[in-house]
Structure 1
Amino acid sequence: MKNAQSKTVVFITGAFVHHSCWDKWKTYFEANGYKAIVPPWPHKNKSPEVLRNSHPNAEIASNRLRELTEYFASIINGLPEKPVLIGHSIGGLIVQLLLQKGLGSLGVAIHSVPPQGIFTFKLSFLKAGWGPLGFFSSTKKTFFMSFAQWKYAFTNGMDCEEQKEAYYQFAIPESKLIVRDTITSAAKLNFESPHPPLLLTSGSDDNTIPASLNYSNYKKYKHSNSITEYKEFKGRNHFVLGQSTWKEDAHYILEWIRSQANSY
């Protein structure tokens, strides 16, 4: 007997941005009958301004991917039903890791940081990621993007005033260890195992996670009886959640979720 579809959505935030980046998405999904939950990362349950002023923040700097994945797992285990999981960037990777553990009814990974073993030498990816990796600097201190780095890694192609507004509204300090953990066993997936339905989305203009990297991620999945789908959106950068086209993306994702009713 197939399961009724979950009406609970857990949004999982990526690195470098405040969880309020999901506010419009939360409202949209709630208006469509879902209970939407947006948990802040550990040590980040304060306003963006307070978090920026705390840089370098030793508590945030201590965050690690394995522990962060378990943190979200504990939240999900406390819910009355297996939720729909929607994550962006490292949040997308966490969605993939949680689905592997059987902790979601289905998942959407938006511009997901790829699991261990998937890499590209595309210049934009290397340029966007070099600073956050924080090589030759202390991992006890957070990394905080300059506005120039933000413009390249997140909001490329947008109007300068829009880029500036997004920077001061959402940019926060981040753990360098979290970024480094994405190339370790903490980010390992078994692509041949069965999993709940998964949609991976990408953006043609994303410098941080190029669409080709998301497509490689998608193509790694091998279990023939599990649903894995891919969608590339034109003109989307890494700030996809806050671009003017966000509702078009949210609508596509919502319709995909609805199309999976009773499929798993």
Structure 2
Amino acid sequence: MRTNQTTTVLFITGAFVHHSCWDAWRTYFEGKGYTTLAPPWPHKEGSAEMLRNSHPNADIAANRLAPLTEYYAGIAKGLPEKPILVGHSIGGLIVQLLLQRGLGAAGVAIHSVPPQGIITFKFSFLKAGWGPLGFFTATSKSFMMSFHQWKYAFTNGMDCDAQKDAYYQYAIPESKLIVRDTITSAAHVDFKQPHAPLLLTSGTTDHTIPASLNYANYRKYAKGQSVTDYKAFEGRNHFVLGQATWKEDADYIIAWLEKL
């Protein structure tokens, strides 16, 4: 049974990618009877190509985590029912932050950036994150991931043509500040606080958010009394939403939701 009979799914996009990354997921969930929405981040309303051509984009560069969380909180509050929150990467972190505020009937954090205080020194994590953090560069300018960086951080293990197609379809400029905010109090979660059911998923080949980091995130909730589950998927990289295996992941999530 769907939790509290909720049928609205709010998809929350992560950093560096266009919100159209959810298009196939939306169609699939709607085919299962859900109502869906996947609003773009502020200042990211145009096409991926248009946004790339706008780089460096001062408006995108000014995006911060706390206002972005409030933006999605406002959308959730404006719906006729508490939505099911499904987010990827920073979107997964926002899912956790919104559940803290009682704004979701359930949450799914896909390859989530972890809340404040959870970190790893794994080389792939440090390598993938160094460029986006933009140390020693102006934060007034947006960060645009190069194709070389994209191949390592998002689409590692995929065929080169598929990597290129994904890059030109989805890659967009990002705020360096919002990436840095993920290690500040703007990303704080009280793991002992009761929350709606939460599923955290990870991928064994994700360079940007290693599975071990998602598992550490899950373990932080272990002492709480709320439903918190974890699933590691074999062979998923950070482009998990667009990999050939995405329907398997979506089916698992739908089955988890309908058991609540």
Match of 1:199 in 2: 199
Match of 2:131 in 1: 131
User: How many angstroms apart in 1 are the aligned matches of 2:124 and 2:222?
Assistant: 28
TM-score (norm 1): 0.97
1:172 maps to 2:172: yes
User: How many angstroms apart in 2 are the aligned matches of 1:81 and 1:237?
Assistant: 33
- Please, what is the CA RMSD of the aligned residues? 1.0
1:191–1:221 Cα contact (<8 Å) kept:
yes
Match of 2:91 in 1: 91
Structure 1 counterpart of 2:248, one-letter code:
E
Structure 1 counterpart of 2:92, one-letter code:
G
Question: Do the aligned partners of residues 208 and 3 (structure 1) sit closer, same or farther apart at CA in structure 2, a change above 3 Å counting?
Answer: closer
User: How many angstroms apart in 2 are the aligned matches of 1:130 and 1:223?
Assistant: 33
Q: CA deviation at 1:170?
A: 0.1
1:193–1:223 Cα contact (<8 Å) kept:
no
User: How many angstroms apart in 2 are the aligned matches of 1:191 and 1:42?
Assistant: 28
User: How many angstroms apart in 1 are the aligned matches of 2:99 and 2:179?
Assistant: 21
Q: CA deviation at 1:152?
A: 0.0
Match of 1:183 in 2: 183
Structure 2 counterpart of 1:82, one-letter code:
K
Q: CA deviation at 1:224?
A: 3.5
Match of 2:32 in 1: 32
Unaligned runs of 5+ in 2: none
1:204–1:211 Cα contact (<8 Å) kept:
yes
Q: CA deviation at 1:222?
A: 4.1
SS at structure 1 position matched to 2:183: coil
Match of 1:151 in 2: 151
Match of 2:66 in 1: 66
Match of 1:211 in 2: 211
Match of 2:245 in 1: 245
User: How many angstroms apart in 1 are the aligned matches of 2:70 and 2:3?
Assistant: 25
Q: CA deviation at 1:198?
A: 0.1
Name the count of aligned residue pairs. Answer: 259
Q: CA deviation at 1:3?
A: 6.8
User: How many angstroms apart in 1 are the aligned matches of 2:69 and 2:224?
Assistant: 26
1:107 maps to 2:107: yes
User: How many angstroms apart in 2 are the aligned matches of 1:155 and 1:30?
Assistant: 27
User: How many angstroms apart in 2 are the aligned matches of 1:202 and 1:121?
Assistant: 17
User: How many angstroms apart in 1 are the aligned matches of 2:114 and 2:4?
Assistant: 30
Structure 2 counterpart of 1:110, one-letter code:
I
User: How many angstroms apart in 1 are the aligned matches of 2:170 and 2:146?
Assistant: 13
Match of 1:259 in 2: 259
SS at structure 2 position matched to 1:167: helix
Unaligned runs of 5+ in 1: none
2:3–2:257 Cα contact (<8 Å) kept:
no
User: Runs (4+) of structure 1 moved beyond 2 Å?
Assistant: 2-5, 222-225
TM-score (norm 2): 0.98
1:10–1:37 Cα contact (<8 Å) kept:
yes
The C-alpha deviation readout for 1:181-202, integer Å capped at 9, x for no partner, is: 0000000000000000000000
SS at structure 2 position matched to 1:11: strand
User: How many angstroms apart in 1 are the aligned matches of 2:82 and 2:4?
Assistant: 11
SS at structure 2 position matched to 1:241: helix
